[in-house]
Structure 1
């Protein structure tokens, strides 16, 4: 699939381990099939609970394959962080969208 435009997925959780686990689950349920690029963005840079614009931006850049980035979040304040980043206009790849979907089910 090299060179193919894909939508990337970023999973924003207040907990690093939760974001990583949901990303692993989504990849695992693909049963070895082709998957969209998925990146977790959980917790704070120091490992604490919370959301980090820095981690979200890095994760979005890592999954950007030219067709946009879908961002799923776990709780309300993560929504606020992503909306603020989208309003800035230069912190996330072009065509990044906040997706209104359940965190785990939406990732899968």
Structure 2
């Protein structure tokens, strides 16, 4: 599946372990086999809490398969870091898109949808739709 053109997913959290756990959860719930590419970008370069533009850019490059990259974030300053990277214009792959969606549910929905070969708009729509998931 690695040569197939698919939308990639980047999960930006203030915590490396949180980003890694959400990526693992999404992979497991997407069937556990081969999925669209997903990469965590959590914490700072030295492993602390925060966000790192270098880690985000590296994760986006890692998952880019030519169909765009959906970037999901956990908290406010992660959003600001991604927006700054997008504004710079050359740090992220073409088609990289910050998506306003719940972090966990959106990650699962995005990865499941991307793994079907869906395009960037469909992957974004699936992640955003996760806002409507009711728990009660």
TM-score interval, normalised by the smaller of the two chains? over 0.9
The reply to whether residue 11 of structure 1 matches residue 11 of structure 2 is yes
Normalization by structure 2: what TM-score? 0.77
- Judge which range, 11-20 or 30-39, deviates more: 30-39
Shift of 1:91: 0.3
Structure having greater relative contact order (Cα 8 Å, sep ≥ 6)? 1
CA offsets per residue over residues 4-27 of structure 1, 9 Å max, x none?
210000000000000000000000
Give the number of equivalent residue pairs: 108
CA RMSD of aligned residues (A): 1.0
Q: Cα deviation per residue 1:44-103 (whole Å; 9 max; x = unaligned)?
A: 010100000000000000000000000000001100000000000000000000011000
Runs of 4 or more off by more than 6 Å in structure 1? Answer: none
The unaligned stretches of length 5 or more in structure 2 are: 109-136
Which ranges in structure 1 are unaligned for 5 or more consecutive residues? none
TM-score normalised over the length of structure 1: 0.96
Q: Greater Rg, structure 1 or structure 2?
A: 2
Are residues 1:97 and 2:111 paired?
Answer: no
